[in-house]
């Protein structure tokens, strides 16, 4: 999940008032941000950029607006607007991410794996049409503009594969596909607007392990059937019950990120120990159910990492 960000005072110092895209597109600064969590003892480094980075490379500029999130300068509303997007943007269009990956890999020198990520077509399309987290508005657009919607999903699928393949070729050790808002869909919608695109992307980008994240997704079977190496769980899921039901599936999660924000370090440690026990000490990546909240105390993040480290026995996870 999100490791570096507004919750970390060292990140705030580093960003020093720059806008999000100014900061993220500066590969040297983004590399420093990506590496900040290393001091806590994490087991991998996630690169610092945004899922809309790909849309920008495709030709759709974005701004990050307070209280609204990523917002396109000109929301995609027509077939012509979709057709103007480049499904296979030249690597120069996302050179900042490639450079970021190069800097971080050089600094780590193999000491930790490096993870990259992309937004899944449904969630990224929601931002491209300007509806973002507003599922009702996204659904209305899709119902009224079916041809535009499906053409946009298909173009984003092609671009996501292109983007992830370039990052894997450049040395990424694993990737995570974020479909943050698809967990709120009806099952019929999920099986049309989300799952087929997950399957296509995981089938096409299979050289390294993959993780599927759908926030609090009720459709665990469909997530497992996506072909992802690892399926991310939320607080709505019972990891202990799913483990014996799917013994061959690797899971990620599922410590409540709200507890990290509002609990005590001891409560965080206990929740982390319970999560690890439920995971059965195999095919399980201990992680949060969602990203680190901006109000999370640094001491709680450290307690989370320390609890996972103290539980670990070499060769058992």
Are 243 and 169 within one domain? no
- CATH number, domain with residue 47: 3.20.20.210
Q: Using 50, 70 and 90 to split pLDDT, how confident is the model at 1?
A: low
Are 109 and 210 within one domain? yes
Average pLDDT, the chain: 94
Are 66 and 33 within one domain? yes
Inter-residue contact 134 to 75 (CB < 8 Å): no
Q: Using 50, 70 and 90 to split pLDDT, how confident is the model at 315?
A: very low
Residue 4 lies inside a defined structural domain of this protein: no
Mean pLDDT of 93-117: 98
Domain end among 201, 232, 263: 232
Are 218 and 241 within one domain? no
- CA distances to 181, 190, 238 from 186, rounded to whole Å, are 11, 6, 21
Domain span at residue 256 reads 234-309
Check pLDDT > 80 for residue 52: yes
Placement of tokens 């003892």 in the chain: 41
Judging by DSSP bridges, how do beta strands 114-119 and 45-46 pair with one another?
A: parallel
Q: Using 50, 70 and 90 to split pLDDT, how confident is the model at 143?
A: very high
Are 200 and 239 within one domain? no
| pLDDT tens, position by position, 220-245 | 999 999 999 999 999 999 999 999 99
Residue 272 lies inside a defined structural domain of this protein: yes
Inter-residue contact 140 to 101 (CB < 8 Å): no
Are 272 and 168 within one domain? no
Q: Using 50, 70 and 90 to split pLDDT, how confident is the model at 317?
A: very low
Are 152 and 279 within one domain? no
Check pLDDT > 90 for residue 258: yes
The pLDDT assigned to 311 comes to 73
Domain end among 169, 199, 232: 232
Torsion angle, alpha carbons of 300, 301, 304, 306, to 10: -100
Check pLDDT > 60 for residue 74: yes
| pLDDT tens, position by position, 270-297 | 999 999 999 988 899 999 999 899 999 9
Residue 86 lies inside a defined structural domain of this protein: yes
Residue 131 lies inside a defined structural domain of this protein: yes
The pLDDT assigned to 312 comes to 58
Inter-residue contact 11 to 296 (CB < 8 Å): no
Residue 3 lies inside a defined structural domain of this protein: no
Are 160 and 241 within one domain? no
Domain end among 195, 211, 232: 232
Are 133 and 274 within one domain? no
The pLDDT assigned to 69 comes to 83
Are 265 and 202 within one domain? no
| pLDDT tens, position by position, 160-178 | 999 999 999 999 999 999 9
The pLDDT assigned to 316 comes to 39
Inter-residue contact 194 to 214 (CB < 8 Å): yes
Q: Under 8 Å CB-to-CB from 41, ≥6 apart: which residues?
A: 305, 306, 309
Mean pLDDT of 5-26: 92
Q: How many domains does one find in the chain? A: 2
Judging by DSSP bridges, how do beta strands 69-72 and 62-65 pair with one another?
A: antiparallel
Check pLDDT > 60 for residue 152: yes
Torsion angle, alpha carbons of 186, 191, 195, 196, to 10: -150
Check pLDDT > 70 for residue 81: yes
Q: Using 50, 70 and 90 to split pLDDT, how confident is the model at 313?
A: low
Judging by DSSP bridges, how do beta strands 45-46 and 69-72 pair with one another?
A: unpaired
Are 210 and 261 within one domain? no
Residue 1 lies inside a defined structural domain of this protein: no
The pLDDT assigned to 5 comes to 87
Are 299 and 167 within one domain? no
């Amino acid at each position: 999940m999100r490791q570096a960000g507004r919750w970390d005072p060292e990140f705030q110092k580093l960003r020093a008032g720059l806008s999000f895209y100014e900061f993220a597109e500066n590969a040297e600064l983004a590399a420093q941000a990506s590496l900040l969590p290393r001091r806590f003892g994490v087991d991998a480094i996630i690169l610092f950029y945004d899922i809309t980075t790909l849309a920008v490379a495709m030709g759709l500029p974005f701004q990050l607006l307070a209280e609204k999130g990523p917002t396109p300068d000109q929301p995609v509303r027509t077939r012509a607007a979709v057709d103007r997007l480049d499904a296979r943007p030249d690597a120069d269009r996302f050179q900042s991410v490639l450079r970021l990956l190069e800097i971080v890999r050089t600094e780590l020198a193999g000491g930790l794996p490096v993870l990259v990520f992309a937004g899944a077509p449904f969630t990224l399309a929601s931002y491209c049409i300007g509806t973002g987290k507003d599922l009702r508005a996204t659904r209305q657009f899709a119902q009224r503009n079916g041809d535009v919607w499906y053409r946009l999903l298909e173009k984003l699928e092609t671009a996501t594969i292109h983007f992830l393949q370039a990052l894997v070729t450049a040395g990424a050790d694993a990737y995570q596909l974020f479909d943050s808002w698809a967990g709120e869909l009806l099952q019929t919608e999920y099986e049309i607007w989300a799952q087929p695109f997950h399957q296509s992307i995981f089938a096409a980008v299979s050289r390294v392990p993959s993780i599927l994240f759908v926030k609090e997704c009720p459709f665990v079977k469909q997530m497992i059937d996506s072909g992802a190496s690892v399926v991310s769980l939320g607080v709505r899921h019972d990891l202990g019950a799913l483990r014996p039901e799917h013994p061959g599936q690797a899971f990620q999660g599922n410590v409540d990120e709200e507890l990290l924000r509002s609990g005590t370090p001891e409560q965080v440690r206990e929740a982390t120990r319970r999560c690890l026990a439920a995971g059965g000490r195999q095919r399980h990546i201990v992680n949060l159910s969602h990203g680190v909240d901006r109000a999370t105390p640094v001491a709680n993040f450290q307690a989370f990492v320390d609890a996972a480290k103290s539980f670990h026995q070499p060769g058992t996870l």
